[in-house]
Amino acid sequence: MAIFKGSGVAIVTPFKEDGSVDYEKFAEVIEYQIAGGTDCIIVCGTTGEASTLTHEEHLDCIRFCVEKVNHRIPVVAGTGSNCTETAIYLSQEAEKYGVDGLLVVTPYYNKATQKGLIKHFTAVANSVKTPIILYNVPGRTGCNIQPETAVYLAKNVENIVGIKEASGNISQVVKLMSLAEGCIDLYSGNDDQVVPLLSLGGIGVISVLANVAPKETHDMVASFLEGDVAKSREIQLKAIPLCNALFCEVNPIPVKKGVELMGLCGGTLRMPMTEMEPENAEKLKKAMADFGVKLA
């Protein structure tokens, strides 16, 4: 059974002006997402700036999110690392908090061969019982999970059940789903390719867009899964200008500005992320308004 179907938000981590985690605002953002119809919360992923959290902060954010959500919707924790032992540690700790799934990214910087990826993901998966979603985002990691590798892992490791595909390579996803024959749950990792991946057998998205438009992102997926492809496509195409604005600078710089423009939380980032360029912020503000996002 899938960890979730629908729209999973790759949720931001709110920071105070001094850079510490703002748990009061984090709680408000979580409630906003649940009220907006989000189907799953993915905490401490790329958008959550996990790479600049200490291990203690990382785990505290996961624990806080699980407790705040309190079983209302699934919570998936990002626990990947370029160090296998670190990924095992984070995954085991997150499992203790009762997460519904783990999102494990490919090793970055030091990367890995396909054989290395199999060993890495197998070691992490065997250290826990929680179901795992592989995260393929070669544009950020420099490491690509080949379709054959993803299928091998899904067929040979019991708790590797899904993949967040953010390669942007539709041909690769076609090959993956052809080889998989239903053995792996596919989630779009790109907000501008949700409908294309759903058409190939995907069951949802792990979304940046959902931070500022939770209902619309949920409706895009739900409509498709309910058979209303026309409505799903209409939402997807209408969202493209906003998707473009949300990725006009390195994620999560724009989306952090977006939630700030909505008054949900401050837009403070941790270095090396820096404040959005003013002209890009204006473009984002216009795209949000045009899409119907209520600004503060």
Q: Which are the catalytic amino acids?
A: 135, 164
How do beta strands 6-10 and 101-105 pair?
unpaired
Q: Quick count: other Cβ atoms within 10 Å of Cβ 204?
A: 29
* Dihedral sign of CA atoms 166, 211, 249, 78 in order: negative
CA nearest 188: which of 232, 143, 253, 126? Answer: 232
Interatomic CA distance for residues 14 and 20, integer angstroms: 9
**In this structure, what token pair is assigned to residue 105?**
């990214």
Asked whether the beta carbons of 187 and 158 are under 8 A apart, the reply is no
